[in-house]
């Protein structure tokens, strides 16, 4: 098949969306499909153009060998910017990507549009008309509910307009790829025919984490010899609430051999770092963003991995991509919210669940693994066995490929 994937986020952008869509492109390409990706110039999460790129109106990105990647203009916006400025950024890419569709010189059998922000679906709807093909909407967030949960929108007139727009978009899509059961339930609640929705979970890149790594340089760099390392990777945004990790580090600051290592970036990183300085913490380090291929070096350092979330009901429905990295790394997990992700952790026998919004319980669950390292190793092994059996990206992409073949 010839497949066009449209997504605002794509590596070197970081975060769950970019990782998921790269997995689609690479996996579908490996199965013999011809893949073209149309995405924005990379700015996420800092709101700055990545080194090595320019914010051109349209360009081909030759950093990818297995498929074609084309990028179009986006108005950079900082993570802390107002909702109106974020809308401006979203629509700048909608306009540029829609304008340059005809430049792609392709005739796709399938068009996949990837949300979290729903406005990019407008480009997908235009592509559907131009190429006379079916449109598949990949959804990882229940928008506009997610905008309310993260504090960017309040319930009111604007929210009602957004809800109507959501329903308008759904009527113009042929099929839907839902990243979690909660997302599928949301789609059905909005009137989407259940037969048009298939679950395509985020999954683990098993091959990435199977490789042996040398982390001695990192151990020396961060002084981690004989330390119990509490680790976090990925986006530090409004949903992830990294302040909860800082609070746990503060509660455990009396333990000389417990050290927190946070790998990633995002709109809430600065606030979290300021909180750590206010507490006067010396047991926590913010590493910043690292290339994804280096992630196994960092997870290999961890004694336990953290999944923090803001205490909002919506986030009980989501399944973060970092969960699968942690499972594939064979590390025990502590998550601070009940819900779908917690159900996977419990089903895998891979970790412990803290009460939502309870920093003390978050710290206590970390201590349970600290006090029983053998139990931690057992949880890690169980999680790795589970993810290999049920969430190997290669197998899930095969199912997605079959779905596309049978519905195109």
CATH code of the domain covering residue 337: 3.40.50.2000
Residues 338 and 370 occupy one common structural domain: yes
Q: In angstroms, rounded to a whole number, what is the distance separating the alpha carbons of residues 386 and 389?
A: 5
State whether 162 and 269 are in the same domain. Answer: no
Do 214 and 69 sit in the same domain of this protein? no
Residue 239 shares a structural domain with residue 191? no
Residues 400, 309 share a domain: no
Q: 7 is in which domain, residue-wise?
A: 2-203+392-407
Q: How far is it, in rounded angstroms, from Cα 124 to Cα 111?
A: 7
pLDDT digits 0-9 by tens, 71-125: 999 999 887 777 788 889 999 999 999 999 989 999 999 999 998 788 999 999 9
> DSSP for 280-340?
T-SSEEEEE---GGGHHHHHTT-SEEEE---S-GGGGS---THHHHHHHHT--EEESS-SH
Q: Are residues 62 and 152 in the same domain?
A: yes
pLDDT of 183 reads 86
pLDDT at 145: 63
**194 and 230 both lie in a single domain:** no
Question: Roughly how many angstroms between the first and final C-alpha of the chain, as a whole number?
Answer: 9
Q: Say whether both 135 and 250 belong to one domain.
A: no
Residue 252 confidence (pLDDT): 98
167 and 221 part of one domain:
no
Per-residue pLDDT at 115: 87
State how far the Cα of 143 lies from the Cα of 139, in Å rounded to an integer. 9
Quick one: pLDDT at residue 157? 77
- Which residues of the chain are modeled with pLDDT < 50? none
pLDDT tens-place string over residues 9-45: 999 998 788 989 999 999 999 999 999 999 999 998 8
- How many distinct structural domains can be found in the chain? 2
Report residue 160: phi and psi, to 5°: -65, -40
pLDDT of residue 152: 58
Q: Are 112 and 245 found together in one domain?
A: no
382 plus 403 within the same structural domain = no
67 and 10 in a common domain: yes
């Amino acid at each position: 098949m010839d497949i066009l994937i449209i997504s605002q986020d794509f590596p070197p952008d970081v975060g769950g969306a970019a990782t998921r869509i790269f997995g689609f492109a690479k996996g579908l390409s490996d199965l013999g499909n011809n893949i073209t990706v149309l995405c924005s110039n990379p700015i996420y999460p800092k709101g700055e153009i990545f080194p090595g790129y320019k914010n051109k109106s349209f360009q081909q990105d030759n950093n990818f060998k297995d498929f074609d990647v084309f990028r179009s203009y986006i108005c950079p916006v900082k993570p802390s910017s107002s909702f109106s400025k974020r809308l401006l950024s979203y629509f700048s890419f909608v306009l540029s990507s829609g304008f340059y569709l005809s430049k792609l010189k392709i005739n796709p059998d399938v068009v996949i549009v990837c949300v979290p922000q729903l406005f990019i679906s407008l480009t997908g709807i235009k592509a559907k008309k131009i190429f006379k093909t079916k449109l598949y909407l990949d959804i990882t967030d229940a928008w506009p509910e997610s905008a309310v949960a993260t504090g960017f929108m309040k319930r009111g007139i604007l929210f009602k307009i957004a809800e109507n727009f959501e329903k308008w978009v759904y009527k113009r899509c042929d099929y839907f790829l839902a990243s979690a059961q909660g997302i599928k339930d949301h789609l059905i609640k909005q009137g989407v025919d259940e037969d048009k929705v298939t679950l395509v979970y985020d999954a683990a890149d098993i091959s990435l984490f199977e490789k042996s790594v040398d982390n001695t340089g990192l151990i020396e760099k961060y002084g981690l010899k004989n330390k119990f390392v509490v680790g976090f990777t990925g986006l530090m945004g409004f949903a992830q609430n990294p302040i909860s990790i800082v609070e746990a580090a503060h509660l455990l600051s009396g333990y000389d051999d417990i050290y927190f290592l946070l790998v990633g970036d995002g709109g809430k990183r600065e606030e979290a770092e300021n909180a750590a300085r206010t507490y006067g913490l010396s047991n926590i380090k913010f590493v910043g963003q690292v290339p994804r291929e280096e992630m196994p070096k960092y997870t290999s350092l961890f004694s336990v991995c953290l999944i923090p979330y803001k205490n909002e009901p919506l986030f009980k429905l989501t399944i973060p991509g970092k969960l699968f990295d942690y499972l594939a790394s064979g590390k025990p997990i502590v998550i601070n919210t009940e819900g779908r992700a917690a159900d996977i952790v419990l089903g895998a026998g891979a970790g412990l669940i803290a009460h939502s919004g309870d920093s003390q319980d978050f710290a206590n669950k970390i201590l349970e693994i600290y006090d029983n390292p053998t139990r931690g190793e057992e949880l890690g092994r169980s999680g790795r066995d589970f993810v290999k059996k049920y969430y190997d990206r290669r197998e899930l992409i095969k199912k997605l490929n079959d779905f596309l073949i049978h519905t195109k």
